[in-house]
Amino acid sequence: MNLRCLSCQRTYPQDTYRWRCECGGVFELEGTPGFAQDKIKTDDISLWRYRAMLPVNYEEGIISLGEGLTPLVETQVYGTNIHCKLEFLAPTGSFKDRGTAVLINVLKRMGVKRVVEDSSGNAGASLAAYAARSGIEAEIYVPAYASPNKLAQIAVYGAKLVKVEGPRERASQAAQEAAAQGAYYASHYYNPFTLEGLKTIAYEIWEQLGGRAPDNLVLPVGHGTLLLGDYRGFNDLLSVGLIEKLPRLFAVQAEPCAPLYEAYQRELDDAFPIEKNETVAEGISIAQPVRGRQILAAVRETGGTVLAVSDEETLRARDELARRGLYVEPTSAVAIAALPQLRDLIKDEELTVVPLTGSGLKS
Ligand SMILES: [Zn+2]
């Protein structure tokens, strides 16, 4: 397995401390095993049932908090039947644990002693927990405006918490400066191992639906790691003939910060940096997604679209979902808020999955 730059195609060994290519391009992991139905460890009730398909294929000593295998629950919101994938039941309360679990195992084997990361909350909490579990030291750079609950969660796991004033991007710069001093930059959006972990959500959906892909996936998108993980996972299933086509990917952004929506509207191949405004969907408040080109290509290839919803619609959708017993943070509710806009695109008989990404208890 190698890391390949998506811009210039240069390759690097998978144990490099580099977090992007010399040319500035982002990495993808190449040479991964792909999906093999007969290699699922059916007695393992976690995402490690797919270990033969992950870059962590060993039996003993896997670092885990029991992540993966989240329930798939049917409900109806705004007249649309959906299957909700309850990712907020993950060990730290968000879908990020899938990516972090795989990444931390890779890093432990590499002998990494110290990691840095920047996050608006969920990714930082996830890394802090798995760092604690593995004995790796973690330092998390967060925007000072992040939710106090999330900051408290990061701190209680024992990670060093560094609050950075100013926009989200300042926290990224601070983490990257710390990485230049010798720490491993465990960025959930630059690092290709996190996408490997996230692809398992597609495998699970396929198993839980009795060996089929949904027609549609509706997802909140900031840096787009969940969307790209799903895309990767369903592609693995497609390439071995276990599904006939990819689900349509519907990427939902928050109107106050919607660079991918802007780019999609203008029929561009990549997002351009935008002036963003505050939004209740803080987890996807990303002015310049580093994998924008990949996200837009995946959406177009699958026949999906990019949508944007207002904060008002998001909060109403959060409440609608809570009235059905499902309590998520506002960032997760943007996907539900987009359902009325999709009414003409999604037929009654179609199967639609919405991953519910983060717990309402965090917000
Ligand atoms: Zn490059």
DSSP 101-161: HHHHHHHHHHT--EEEEE-SSHHHHHHHHHHHHHT-EEEEEEETTS-HHHHHHHHHTT-EE
Q: Please report the sign of the dihedral spanned by the C-alpha atoms of residue 232, residue 129, residue 62, residue 21.
A: positive
Q: How remote is the CA of residue 21 from the centroid of ligand 1, in Å?
A: 5
| Structure tokens that stand for 263 in this block | 């780019």
pLDDT given for residue 150 in this prediction: 86
Q: How remote is the CA of residue 329 from the centroid of ligand 1, in Å?
A: 36
Query: What confidence tier does 200 reach under pLDDT thresholds 50, 70, 90?
Result: very high
Q: How remote is the CA of residue 8 from the centroid of ligand 1, in Å?
A: 4
Query: What confidence tier does 60 reach under pLDDT thresholds 50, 70, 90?
Result: confident
Q: How remote is the CA of residue 249 from the centroid of ligand 1, in Å?
A: 27
Q: Which residue has the higher pLDDT, 169 or 79?
A: 79
pLDDT given for residue 223 in this prediction: 96
Give yes or no for residue 57 having a pLDDT over 80: no
pLDDT given for residue 79 in this prediction: 96
Distances (CA, A) of 268 to 129, 216, 286, 297: 38, 23, 18, 10
Report the C-alpha dihedral over residues 346, 347, 349, 352, rounded to 10 degrees: 0
Give yes or no for residue 204 having a pLDDT over 80: yes
pLDDT given for residue 266 in this prediction: 97
Q: How remote is the CA of residue 294 from the centroid of ligand 1, in Å?
A: 15
- Laid out side by side, the sheet with 114-118 consists of 160-164, 137-143, 114-118, 184-185
Q: How remote is the CA of residue 179 from the centroid of ligand 1, in Å?
A: 19
- How many separate domains does the chain show? 3
Q: How remote is the CA of residue 195 from the centroid of ligand 1, in Å?
A: 19
Q: How deeply is 135 buried, as exposed, middle or buried, from its count of CB atoms within 10 A (0-12, 13-18, 19+)?
A: exposed
Q: Give the domain-ending residue among 173, 191, 209.
A: 191
Same domain, 113 and 86: no
Query: How many whole angstroms separate alpha carbon 183 and alpha carbon 138?
Result: 9
Q: How remote is the CA of residue 12 from the centroid of ligand 1, in Å?
A: 10
Q: SS3 of 308, please? A: strand
Give yes or no for residue 188 having a pLDDT over 90: yes
| Structure tokens that stand for 211 in this block | 């060996």
Same domain, 177 and 215: no
Q: How remote is the CA of residue 27 from the centroid of ligand 1, in Å?
A: 8
pLDDT given for residue 169 in this prediction: 87
- Overall average pLDDT of the 76-86 stretch: 97
pLDDT given for residue 191 in this prediction: 96
Report field, pTM of the whole predicted structure over 0.85: yes
Q: Give the domain-ending residue among 174, 191, 208.
A: 191
The reply to whether 124 falls in a domain is yes
| Structure tokens that stand for 299 in this block | 């959406």
Same domain, 90 and 232: yes
Query: What confidence tier does 154 reach under pLDDT thresholds 50, 70, 90?
Result: very high
Pick from 69-83, 103-117, 145-159: least confident = 145-159
Domain span at 174? 96-191
Pick from 11-20, 32-41, 270-279: least confident = 270-279
Rounded to 10 deg, the angle between the 200-208 and 225-239 helix axes is 60
Q: Give the domain-ending residue among 191, 220, 246.
A: 191
- Domain of 133, CATH number, reads 3.40.50.1100
Give yes or no for residue 146 having a pLDDT over 90: no
The Cβ-side half-sphere exposure at 187, using a 13 Å CA radius, reads 25
Q: How remote is the CA of residue 192 from the centroid of ligand 1, in Å?
A: 14
Q: Which residue has the higher pLDDT, 308 or 119?
A: 308
- Overall average pLDDT of the 293-304 stretch: 98
pLDDT given for residue 138 in this prediction: 97
CB 191 within 8 A of CB 97: no
Same domain, 348 and 201: yes
Amino acid identity, position 116: V
